[in-house]
Chain A
């Protein structure tokens, strides 16, 4: 994966390195990323992986908070349809995801900044492939640069709880 080494990649878009928050479900995609690790697969270092118990835990607020806190893109990984440890969590995730993308279109945020993939525990290579593709896609889009929102007075740490620590 030498073509993804940072100096070369950085040359493509004014030294811009995408920051991607990746929410991976505990049972499939996070296990797959562990597999990718122990199989010594290398892939772009731009993702900050957050393990959640189920992709059904991922709701629009978390994705919005990640973008508000400085992420340029959000990647979500869950179990394949029919494989959810909790039976239906990934379907809930998919429904929310489709609605969120329509909201993004109205709000001027490129839908390509968010991606949902089903990655089974055995698919370490898919974690590698999807992560690399996502990083390249967001690199092409450039930094998100959300307009700064005025901080509400007296609304204690309004969005801090949702994404604190997600993006460094």
Chain B
């Protein structure tokens, strides 16, 4: 009997998602025994032509990580959607836009200008930019173009399931593979992780006071962090109250606050909005000037509350078009 076929593709990502597959360790043997990887650019030598030669729906399940911005990524995910029965958005970038999604705070031209003209290490006196097409003696060379904004995978193609995390915790991957193989899958669109907030599974929950009354937010390097006590109670910006669990509180166990990589629970529509609401409410100050100075102790609201999800947020990208012609 032929084994179900699987793909594992990357778009705008760092390779950490692939690393999480290797983290399956001995379980990886069981996975490759049960399924056949037919496309896995990071690990195996299959080409786009091999995918194009497949029948529609031939791949049982394709995991796609990374955000989508280049024309090549758009083409590849559309091709893989056609060839796959199930598409699983794998990791924060495919799920919500991820770290590459922070590029939505800038317009494309400023990014290109910064990279190809302005950076301290740029030496480009003729101002050359990558061209979609270049003619050389041997023929024509092509490069992908970039879209104006970074998108999450489900903003480009229909996605069946999501496995969140940066990178996804290995137990979530293992459980998802088992669910796919057994056919015991939840309704389409489900994020394959527990639908409760991280605080619920946090080993420090008992040290979380009823009333946190935070005076000012602290950054990890500014204090000597108590390894037993609730990080919020120590003034750290821990996104646990508004972030989905499923990671086993890995960062908390490493004595670092949650940065929100698993995204929100299903009832939340804007992860950053929900975590801003949760954390700002916990401040002790009641006088307006005290509140303002406490809020000033948050160094970078977007980078703190939307670190993994600008494209997936309600605002999607930095706004430039208001009024009568922008500002």
Contacts and interface: CB of A to CB of B under 8 A. Distances in A.
B189 A99 contact: no
B286 A159 contact: no
A67 B280 CA distance: 21
B128 interface: no
Contacts, number: 148
Nearest to A82: B286
A133 interface: no
A103 B319 contact: no
B154 A159 contact: no
Nearest to B158: A153
Contact of A154 (B149, B159, B322): B159
Given A59-B276, A144-B322, A150-B155, 12 more contacts: A59-B277, A61-B270, A67-B315, A95-B281, A96-B280, A103-B276, A106-B105, A107-B319, A143-B322, A149-B155, A152-B152, A153-B157
Interface in A82-125: 88, 91-92, 94-96, 98-100, 102-103, 106-110
Contacts of A61: 268-270, 273-274, 277, 314
Interface residues of B, number: 51
A66 B280 CA distance: 20
B186 interface: no
Contacts of A65: 269-270, 314
B123 to A, nearest CB: 32
The interface residues of chain B, by DSSP majority, are classed as loop
A13 B324 CA distance: 9
B318 A99 contact: no
18 contacts: A67-B315, A68-B315, A92-B280, A95-B280, A98-B295, A99-B295, A102-B298, A103-B276, A103-B302, A110-B322, A110-B327, A141-B322, A146-B316, A147-B316, A153-B155, A155-B189, A159-B269, A159-B270
A142 B288 CA distance: 29
B286 A91 contact: yes
A153 to B, nearest CB: 4
A13 B280 CA distance: 36
Contacts of B273: 59-61, 63-64
